[in-house]
Structure 1
Amino acid sequence: MKIGLLITARLKSSRLPFKLLRDLNGYSIIEHVINRSKKLSDIEDIVLCTSINQQDKPLVEIAKKNDIYYFLGSEDDVLQRLCDCAKFFGFDYVLSITGENPIFSIDHTNLMINRIKTLKEDFIYIEGLPIGTAVYGINVKALKTVCEYKDEIDTEIWGPLINRPEIFKVGKLIAEDFYYRPNLRLTNDYFEDFQMMNKIFCSFNSCSTPSLFSVLEFLDNNREILDTNKERTQLSLDDDTTKRIDEFFKHNHHKIIKIKNKNYSDDI
């Protein structure tokens, strides 16, 4: 099985402009994500998955500089970009991580990779890890199926389109007690997030790749840092969009299953 790690990244953010290029103790945010990705086991290739927009060209140069592949795809349709990238590189399964998450859990990602190799699940997610520290696993056949049936174009938040147990075999890993902190923000959506991340990274050696365990242990011993971004909340789909997607699945179930069976026909 050929497993790829796809880092989705763009420079269009309005909440924290050009956030992926911001420096965190000697490396940009996106470079920390790349360096962390190189610590994973049993990954065929790492691909920085960005868009055809000229604004994102600096990300291509960073990929070249750090000796990883890059792929240029749809600007707004993240799922289509992931699907096109996966097909181009011939991956059977992909792990998806976003470029603003430089403390994603290496250990939990390796657990997911082991699970991918032993269980035939279409979509795998991790419940309970701090925001910004989990990756997602997707069978490329499931990804192809979603892109054929969906009618959503802006898929920056794509979970509800594939986390569908009525369609796919969905797997879930649950974070252990020490790691179970679903309301803790370890991402870079807002300036306050970046301030907190900067405090964390400046407390470790600039050349190190601190484990999530080490970061959480540090925060437990320096709890005042948690106040930095405590007022910020994670963006999610609005109720109208969620309802529209749910209704789409309800009324098109038979059609979606037919598309899935076609794409999975060689598994029978």
Structure 2
Amino acid sequence: MTSTRLPGKVLKLVNGKSLLAYHIERLQQTGFSIAIATTTNHTDDPLVDFAKEYHLNYYRGSEDDVLSRFYHTAKQFKYDIIVRVTSDCPLIDPHLIRNSVNKYIKLDNPNLYMSNVIARTFARGFDFEIFSYQSLKDAFENATEASDLEHVTPYIRKNIQGKTNFHDVVQSSDHSHLRLTVDTEPDFELIKQLIENHNAAELAYTEIEEILLKNPQLAAINEHIEQKKV
């Protein structure tokens, strides 16, 4: 709720529904358990209320040590496999995530890190990372740098212990220049138009990307926004 560029962004409304509601309702289509890992700050009380309303698991922890929040969330709810997504991606694609998790399970490797965020081909806003509780526990016990604690997975991706195996989820066309995450007012305006005018909340990632490719004036709304650096 204390986003520096767009405070309260995840509860901003489109058609009477919060961005977080769109995000969660799409994730619920995966059939997986969902947990909100939020902070102990009173400003995040509305997120706990939201979790209760949607019957979601939730954990409250440090604002700065997000890694510890993820670890304690996974430990409390006994998650063996973690899919990390961020709540500023209201049009996250459930089928893309479900198919990737199914592949992750088949590969049966607790040292595997699977994601679409290292080799980027999908629009930013469909981001996910999949890793084991074992990898998360290793990061929690050994990470010390502030950036590793704040961003959850850098320690895993740096592969300091040399055990991590990487699997990039990519598509044949590179649409990484498209932006569907909400960090600024122009980002919100694009999502608002996509949902209100193109029914994007009901569409797959391929259809949403196609809308932006066919309507460059939409993509132009937030093309000047730079992602905050990790």
TM-score, structure 2 as length reference: 0.90
Residue of structure 1 in register with 2:163 after alignment: 168
Residue of structure 1 in register with 2:44 after alignment: 56
- 1:2-151 matched pairs, under 5 angstroms: 11-41=1-31, 43=32, 45-119=33-107, 120=109, 121-126=111-116, 127=119, 128-151=121-144
- 1:247-258 matched pairs, under 5 angstroms: none
Distance apart, 1:205 and its partner CA: 4.2
Q: Structure 2 CA distance, aligned partners of 1:30 and 1:174?
A: 25
Amino acid at match of 1:55: T
Residue of structure 2 in register with 1:226 after alignment: 219
Q: Structure 2 CA distance, aligned partners of 1:141 and 1:159?
A: 13
Amino acid at match of 1:136: E
Aligned length: 223
- Contact kept, 8 Å, 2:213 with 2:219, in 1: the verdict is no
- Contact kept, 8 Å, 1:164 with 1:170, in 2: the verdict is no
Residue of structure 2 in register with 1:192 after alignment: 186
Q: Structure 2 CA distance, aligned partners of 1:38 and 1:132?
A: 17
Distance apart, 1:181 and its partner CA: 1.2
- Contact kept, 8 Å, 2:70 with 2:152, in 1: the verdict is no
Distance apart, 1:170 and its partner CA: 2.6
Identity of aligned residues (%): 26
Q: Structure 1 CA distance, aligned partners of 2:206 and 2:14?
A: 19
Show structure 1 runs of 4+ deviating over 4 A: none
- Contact kept, 8 Å, 1:101 with 1:188, in 2: the verdict is yes
1:95-133 Cα shifts (integer Å, max 9, x gaps): 011111011222221122112211114321113211121
| Aligned-partner SS, 1:172 | strand
Distance apart, 1:60 and its partner CA: 0.7
Residue of structure 2 in register with 1:7 after alignment: none
Distance apart, 1:209 and its partner CA: 2.7
TM-score, structure 1 as length reference: 0.78
- Contact kept, 8 Å, 2:71 with 2:140, in 1: the verdict is yes
Give unmatched runs, 5+ long, in structure 2. none
Q: Structure 2 CA distance, aligned partners of 1:26 and 1:58?
A: 16
- Contact kept, 8 Å, 1:83 with 1:143, in 2: the verdict is yes
Amino acid at match of 1:173: D
1:226-267 Cα shifts (integer Å, max 9, x gaps): 111111111123xxxxxxxxxxxxxxxxxxxxxxxxxxxxxx
Distance apart, 1:165 and its partner CA: 4.2
Amino acid at match of 1:47: A
Superposition RMSD in Å:
1.8
1:152-195 Cα shifts (integer Å, max 9, x gaps): 245333442111345233332332224x3112111001111111
Bigger Rg over Cα: 1
- Contact kept, 8 Å, 1:93 with 1:140, in 2: the verdict is yes
Q: Structure 2 CA distance, aligned partners of 1:168 and 1:74?
A: 28
Give unmatched runs, 5+ long, in structure 1. 1-10, 238-268
Distance apart, 1:150 and its partner CA: 1.1
Pick which of 126-135 and 55-64 moved more.
Answer: 126-135
